[in-house]
Amino acid sequence: DQGLPSGLQKQAALELEEARPESKRTNPPPRFNDASMVKQLESVGVGRPSTYATILDTLYARRYALQKDDVDAVSVGASRDEKSRAAVEQGSKASLQPSLVAFAVVSVLERFFPGNVDTGFTAAMEEALDAVAGGQRKGRDYLR
């Protein structure tokens, strides 16, 4: 048979001479922090520089994401929006932890509104809105 080492035949029984167990582990990817979340949003075309802090603020305000640490450079009395903006500017290292509420909301949205939670849809819609704002397209075309 083609592709077999010499002396072997297709479906021939082989004798195991040695077996060595190996322990291998993979690590999950690191969790997002504010800065890496913004970078991800940019890479998939969702949001704009003027909306990133608001997006993060909404995630925290609705308790979809929880932060392990607060941004040290921002005073304790600062609003969540101020903290989000500072985190984006300073590159906060505090990891975002998804809440159970987030998992429940995403599950319902994916089941009943799959097109609306698709990042491709969101990115395309934002691009279209940019075209309308820039005068390259008519807004009425997107209201149908």
**pLDDT digit string, tens, across residues 128-142:** 988 999 999 888 887
Tokens of 125: 């819609």
User: Which residue is it, tokens 């397209």?
Assistant: 137
pLDDT at 5: 84
Q: Does some domain include residue 16?
A: no
Q: Does some domain include residue 13?
A: no
pLDDT digits (tens, 9 = 90+) for 95-114: 888 999 999 999 999 999 99
Q: Does some domain include residue 62?
A: yes
Tokens of 111: 């089941």
- Residue 88's CATH number: 1.10.460.10
**Model's pTM, two decimal places?**
0.61
Q: Does some domain include residue 63?
A: yes
* Residue 51: strand pairing partners: none
End-to-end CA gap in the chain = 62
Q: Which residues fall within 8 angstroms of residue 127, CB to CB, at 6 or more apart? A: 45
Q: What is the rounded average pLDDT of the residues 51-65?
A: 93
Q: Which domain holds residue 67?
A: 34-142
Give the SS3 label for residue 96: strand
Q: What percent of the chain has pLDDT over 70?
A: 81
Residue type, 57: D
Q: Does some domain include residue 9?
A: no
Q: Does some domain include residue 5?
A: no
pLDDT of 88 > 80? The answer is no
pLDDT of 75 > 50? The answer is no
Total number of domains constituting the chain: 1
Q: Does some domain include residue 136?
A: yes
Q: Does some domain include residue 25?
A: no
User: Which residue is it, tokens 């809440």?
Assistant: 99
